[in-house]
Amino acid sequence: MLTPQHRLLLAVASFGLGAYLLVSNDYVGILCLAASAYFGHSYFRYGTVWLAYREVAHGRMDAAVKLLGKVKDPAALGSEQRAYYELAWGLVCASRAGAENQRAEEHLQSALSHQLRTDNDRALAEALLAQLLVARDELDQARQLVDKALTRQCGPTILARLKSMKEELQSS
Question: Is there a contact between 161 and 127 (Cβ–Cβ < 8 Å)?
Answer: yes
Side chain identity at 140, as an amino acid letter? Answer: D
Question: Looking at the domain assignment, is residue 86 inside a domain?
Answer: no
Count up the domains in the chain and report the number.
1
What pLDDT, in 10s, does the model give residues 102-115? 899 999 999 999 99
Residue 36 within any structural domain of the chain: yes
Give the list of residues 6+ apart from residue 100 with CB closer than 8 angstroms, or none.
Answer: 93, 94
Largest CA-CA distance found in the chain, in angstroms, rounded:
76
**Sign of the C-alpha dihedral, residues 39, 42, 47, 53?**
negative
Residue 109 covered by a domain:
no
Q: 28-32, 50-54, 112-116, 139-143: which has the minimum mean pLDDT?
A: 50-54
Q: Assign 51 a pLDDT band (cuts: 50, 70, 90).
A: confident
Tell me the one-letter amino acid at 28. V
**pLDDT for position 47:** 64
Please tell me what DSSP assigns to residue 100. Answer: G
Q: How far apart are the first and last CA of the chain?
A: 44
Handedness of CA 137, 139, 140, 142 (dihedral sign): positive
User: 4-23 and 29-45 helices cross at what angle (nearest 10)?
Assistant: 160
What is the residue range of 6's domain? 1-45
Q: Is residue 135 part of a domain?
A: no
Residue 50 lies in a domain: no
Residue at 6 is within a domain: yes
Residue 32 lies in a domain: yes
Distance CA 152, CA 148 (A): 7
The reply to whether 29 falls in a domain is yes
